């Protein structure tokens, strides 16, 4: 079943990208969303009972929302991709047969960068407490991505008969699956006063509800990430973030990868989401390292300056109660592996020397 809508002529690439992103959520059984020429085509699974008028009205609401926002040019900080270079064929498969040691090899390099900047090392649970989710507000900013945990109450009669009505026996638990690592750091420092610059690092498994049709080798609903969280003055965050970007870029180039560091935005879903997006782009609050793999490109690291937005929510201040700021750097470990396997093949023995030096076989 296909729905075809006209894309306004005034929409540039940025707005067309936003349109695909937002139109992905007009119905849960979408098989694909694509723009061909001046038409947006939404393909929905056959046999789904969907009101055409509902799809139309949602699409119009999305159009109005995007129409109102201004396009902001993306700023490139670093690149080693030449536009004249012919791109090889696109990423055709999931490199799932890569030696699992690749994972540790890469994480060790990210940890080296964190240690160089004196980050304190942590290990946190995968489950995020409900109160932390409520404090950070991730679930209201990104409801499309959140996963909550269910449980069966510890009540004798319900447990005893649970096998007869498994689905209705479940209730929402006080936990969410963590969408990223950094909220645990803010929780640990919640209500505390800090002096000077503080860095923390932790790695873990993260979970995000993604539209099924968008899942691929890079976009997964379960992935591993290392984060480095920075807390300090605005200037300290900006400076440290820049030094880490330089370190990560050096590693990226050494590994023979091609890509770009550029300004980026998060897919906010709230009514004021496009304002937040514009703020991110204008203020360079977020940079992403985009790896170019054939005709596919994917963000494999992000570098965020969150201002006082998150620390304020967690009541973290300076020693005299003065405001502090924060930021975080994320490494999508599985995505780095995909990019390396795409570039050098699945056999990690053929990966660049910088990695080989770390293999102990
Ligand atoms: Zn983070």
Q: What is the CATH number of the domain that holds 84?
A: 3.30.930.10
- The percent of residues in the chain predicted with pLDDT above 90, rounded, is 57
Per the domain annotation, does 166 fall within a domain?
yes
Ligand 1 center to residue 183 CA distance, Å?
A: 7
Query: What whole-number distance in Å separates Cα of residue 272 and Cα of residue 264?
Result: 17
Boundary of a domain, candidates 42, 68, 94: 68
Q: What is the pLDDT of residue 261?
A: 97
Counted domains in the chain: 2
CB of 238 closer than 8 Å to CB of 305? yes
Per the domain annotation, does 109 fall within a domain?
yes
Ligand 1 center to residue 103 CA distance, Å?
A: 20
Query: What whole-number distance in Å separates Cα of residue 120 and Cα of residue 127?
Result: 21
Query: What whole-number distance in Å separates Cα of residue 142 and Cα of residue 273?
Result: 9
Per the domain annotation, does 361 fall within a domain?
no
Ligand 1 center to residue 85 CA distance, Å?
A: 34
CA-wise closest residue to 52 among 16, 21, 27: 27
Q: What is the pLDDT of residue 24?
A: 85
Convert the pLDDT of each residue in 234-261 to its tens digit: 999 999 999 999 999 999 999 999 999 9
Residues 289 and 307 in one domain: yes
Ligand 1 center to residue 181 CA distance, Å?
A: 6
Ligand 1 center to residue 272 CA distance, Å?
A: 21
Residues 209 and 134 in one domain: yes
DSSP 195-250: -S-EEEEEEEEEE----GGG--SSS-SEEEEEEEEEEE-HHHHHHHHHHHHHHHHH
Ligand 1 center to residue 257 CA distance, Å?
A: 24
pLDDT at residue 14 greater than cutoff 90: no
Ligand 1 center to residue 49 CA distance, Å?
A: 39
Average pLDDT, the chain: 89
Boundary of a domain, candidates 68, 94, 122: 68
Ligand 1 center to residue 317 CA distance, Å?
A: 19
Q: What is the mean pLDDT of residues 31-37?
A: 89
Residues 64 and 80 in one domain: no
Q: What is the mean pLDDT of residues 91-100?
A: 74
Query: What whole-number distance in Å separates Cα of residue 325 and Cα of residue 237?
Result: 7
Ligand 1 center to residue 3 CA distance, Å?
A: 37
Q: For residue 108, with 0-12 CB atoms within 10 Å meaning exposed, 13-18 middle and 19 or more buried, which class applies?
A: exposed
Assessment of whether the complete model's pTM goes beyond 0.95: no
Confidence of residue 287 (pLDDT cuts 50, 70, 90): very high
Q: What is the pLDDT of residue 247?
A: 98
Ligand 1 center to residue 333 CA distance, Å?
A: 14
Convert the pLDDT of each residue in 110-169 to its tens digit: 999 999 999 999 999 999 999 999 999 999 888 989 999 999 999 999 999 999 999 899
């Amino acid at each position: 079943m296909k729905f075809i809508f006209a894309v306004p002529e005034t929409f540039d690439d940025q707005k067309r990208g936003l349109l695909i992103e937002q139109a992905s959520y007009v119905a849960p059984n979408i098989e694909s969303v694509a723009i061909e020429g001046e038409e947006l085509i939404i393909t929905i699974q056959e046999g789904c009972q969907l009101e055409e008028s509902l799809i139309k009205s949602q699409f119009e609401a999305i159009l109005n929302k995007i129409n109102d926002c201004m396009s902001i040019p993306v700023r490139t900080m670093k690149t080693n991709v030449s536009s004249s270079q012919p791109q090889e064929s696109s990423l055709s498969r999931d490199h799932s047969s890569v030696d699992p040691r690749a994972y540790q090899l890469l994480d060790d390099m990210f940890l080296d960068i964190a240690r160089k900047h004196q980050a304190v090392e942590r290990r946190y649970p995968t489950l995020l407490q409900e109160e932390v989710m409520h404090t950070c507000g991730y679930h209201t900013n990104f409801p499309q991505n959140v996963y909550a945990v269910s449980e069966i109450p510890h009540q004798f009669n319900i447990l005893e008969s649970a096998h007869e009505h498994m689905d209705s026996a479940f209730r929402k638990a006080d936990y969410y699956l963590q969408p990223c690592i950094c909220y645990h750091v803010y929780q640990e420092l919640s209500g505390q006063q800090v002096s000077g610059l503080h860095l923390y690092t932790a790695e873990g498994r993260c979970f995000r509800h993604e539209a099924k049709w968008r899942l691929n080798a890079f976009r997964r609903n379960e992935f591993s990430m290392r984060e480095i969280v920075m807390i300090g003055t605005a200037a300290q965050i900006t400076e440290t973030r820049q030094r880490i970007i330089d370190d990560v870029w050096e590693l990226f180039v050494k590994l023979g990868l091609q890509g770009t560091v550029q300004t980026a935005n998060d897919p906010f879903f709230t009514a004021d989401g496009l304002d937040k997006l514009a703020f991110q782009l204008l203020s360079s609050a977020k940079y992403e390292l985009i790896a170019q793999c054939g005709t596919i490109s994917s963000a494999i690291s992000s570098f965020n300056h969150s201002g006082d937005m998150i620390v304020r929510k967690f009541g973290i201040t300076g020693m005299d109660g003065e405001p502090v700021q924060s930021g975080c750097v994320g490494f999508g470990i599985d995505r780095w592996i995909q990019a390396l396997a795409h570039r050098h093949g699945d056999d990690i023995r053929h990966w660049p020397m910088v990695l080989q030096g770390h293999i102990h076989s």
